[in-house]
Amino acid sequence: MDITFKYNGKIITTPNLEKKLKRMKLNLEDIEIIDNPIKKEKDNGIEDYILDKERVIIRSTSDNIRRVCYVPKGVRPPIEKLFEKQRWNPITKTGIYTENFLKTLYYE
């Protein structure tokens, strides 16, 4: 069971209080034990920006690669708009997808 305590205005949680105090070179008198620590929301491994998005698969007629994209729920933006930042720019020689390749992409 984790123990939560307060030291110098910081709240610290540790599974082994003795070990933690020893590493910090503190005594029990130096800290304030918190009986009801504030519970953090459970981290389910999904970034906040993905929570309101849905996963879509985009394929091309010229290859068999599945491109996974996250778009706002209920919206399917035009593919050209979706890959706007990855469009090939011949002047700066940056980007991935040419204009012709973008025309071969479709939602699965």
For 69-78, the pLDDT digits (tens) are: 989 898 899 9
| Residues near 69 by beta carbon (within 8 Å), at least 6 away in sequence | 55, 56, 57, 58, 82
- How far out from the chain centre does Cα 106 lie? 26
Which residues, given as ranges, of the chain have pLDDT below 50?
Answer: none
Q: Cα(21)–Cα(29) distance, rounded to whole angstroms?
A: 11
Predicted local confidence at residue 60, as pLDDT: 93
Are 59 and 65 spatial neighbours (Cβ–Cβ below 8 Å)? yes
Question: How many beta carbons lie within 10 A of that of residue 48, not counting itself?
Answer: 6
- Paired tokens of 2: 């984790």
The dihedral formed by the CA atoms of 79, 58, 69 and 73, expressed in degrees to the nearest 10: 70
Q: Cα(34)–Cα(5) distance, rounded to whole angstroms?
A: 5
Predicted local confidence at residue 104, as pLDDT: 94
